[in-house]
């Protein structure tokens, strides 16, 4: 599905954010990318849809080498990658519906978008998604009137409107309180599994990553320092990724919820399927 080979990014300032990252995602799974600030998490995610231009290396999504695309080709490739942001990045002065439908911009022409005249199937899909992410009835509310958690739900709906083959998620919970963070993370992982869409999730919160992700990739100094299942995280691995620290509480936090969330996830998926 996604193969990243020897990806390097050097910023004009001379800072080498990524120094040869290799990463393959070959099944629909939630991959949490952890690492300290400046380890290159954000750069990695942004290189994949080329919001940040990679310096060298290749990124292959299915059969397309994203790094070699022209402007036009890049726009087509971006339609297949939904992105979710830490600061939600909604158009604050537009309504929830306008924001969600903006996920279809790659498919509609200028005038249809200008007149907000989207195809009926897009509108139906938008209403369905609003319900699924838990903000049904908010379609005519302006984005700046929503709470952080609600905004992120809109952000998720916008990304899923693209019917993406890959979700790029940059710190989805860093601006949210702990409870909302868990709800958003759970929702994200449920949706990724439901739709069979692989997701790359940058996340600071190791316990959250461990609880909800299927696989964890640790970045250290622009390189992959760890790549393995969520429960393989231990004191040594965390020290490799972040440096020396007492990790016992971090590991214990995730331990409390380990095992259970997965089951709950499946229950809810089944429940949703039964209801729908």
Partner 1 sequence: MTVDEHARRHPEVWRRFSPRQTLVRYAWYLGIVFVAVWSVSNLDIPWFYFLDAHTQAGDLITRMIPPDWAYFDEILDPLLETIHIATLGTAITFFLAFPVAILAARNISPNAMTWFVARFILVASRSVNTVVWALLFVAIFGPGPVAGIWAVAARSIGFVGKLTAEAIEEIDEGTVEAIEATGASRLQVLMIGVIPQVLPVIYGTMIYRWDINIRESTVLGFVGAGGIGIQLYASINQFAWREVAVILLAVFGVVIVSEFVSAIIRQRIN
Binding site for partner 1 (CB under 8 A): 49, 51, 75-83, 85, 87, 89-94, 98, 102-107, 110, 113-114, 155, 158, 162, 168
The neighbouring-strand residues paired with 58 are 5
* Minimum distance, C-beta of residue 44 to partner 1, in the bound complex (Å): 15
Of 82 and 172, CB closest to partner 1: 82
* Minimum distance, C-beta of residue 179 to partner 1, in the bound complex (Å): 24
* Minimum distance, C-beta of residue 217 to partner 1, in the bound complex (Å): 21
Rounded distance, CA 136 to CA 269, Å? 19
* Minimum distance, C-beta of residue 198 to partner 1, in the bound complex (Å): 17
The tokens of 120 are what?
A: 């009926």
Of 202 and 250, CB closest to partner 1: 202
* Minimum distance, C-beta of residue 162 to partner 1, in the bound complex (Å): 6
SS3 95: strand
Q: Are strands 2-10 and 56-61 parallel, antiparallel or unpaired?
A: antiparallel
Of 159 and 209, CB closest to partner 1: 159
Structural contact between residues 32 and 215, judged by C-beta atoms closer than 8 angstroms: yes
DSSP string for residues in 142-179: BGGGS-HHHHHHHHHHHHHHT--SEEEEE-TTTTS-HH
Residue 180, C-beta contacts closer than 8 angstroms, at least 6 positions apart: 148, 149, 152, 173
Rounded distance, CA 43 to CA 17, Å? 7
Q: State which H helix or E strand residue 20 sits in.
A: strand 16-25
* Minimum distance, C-beta of residue 102 to partner 1, in the bound complex (Å): 5
Of 131 and 144, CB closest to partner 1: 144
Structural contact between residues 235 and 247, judged by C-beta atoms closer than 8 angstroms: yes
Of 169 and 224, CB closest to partner 1: 169
Of 159 and 224, CB closest to partner 1: 159
């Amino acid at each position: 599905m996604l193969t990243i080979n020897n990806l390097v990014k050097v910023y004009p300032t001379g800072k080498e954010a990524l120094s040869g990252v290799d990463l393959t995602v070959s099944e629909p799974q939630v991959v949490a990318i952890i690492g300290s600030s400046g380890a290159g998490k954000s750069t990695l995610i942004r290189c994949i849809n080329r919001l940040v231009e990679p310096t060298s290396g290749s990124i292959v999504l299915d059969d397309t080498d994203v790094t070699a695309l022209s402007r036009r080709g890049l726009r087509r490739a971006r339609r297949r990658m939904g992105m979710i942001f830490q600061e939600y990045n909604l158009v604050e002065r537009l309504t929830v519906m306008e924001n969600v439908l903006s996920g279809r911009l790659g498919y509609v022409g200028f005038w249809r978008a200008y007149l907000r005249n989207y195809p009926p199937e897009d509108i139906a899909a938008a209403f369905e998604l609003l319900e699924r992410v838990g903000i049904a009835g908010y379609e005519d509310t302006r984005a700046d009137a929503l709470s952080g958690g609600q905004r992120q739900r809109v952000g998720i709906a916008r990304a899923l409107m693209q019917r993406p083959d890959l979700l790029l998620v940059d710190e989805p919970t860093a601006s949210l309180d702990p409870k909302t963070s868990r709800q958003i993370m759970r929702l994200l992982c449920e949706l990724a599994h439901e739709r069979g869409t692989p997701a790359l999730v940058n996340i600071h919160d190791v316990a959250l990553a461990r609880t909800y992700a299927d696989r964890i990739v640790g970045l250290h100094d622009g390189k992959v320092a760890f790549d393995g299942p969520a429960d393989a995280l231990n004191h040594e691995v965390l020290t490799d990724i972040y440096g020396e620290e007492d990790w016992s509480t971090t590991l214990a936090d995730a331990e409390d919820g380990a095992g259970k969330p997965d089951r709950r996830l499946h229950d809810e998926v089944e429940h949703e399927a039964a209801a729908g």
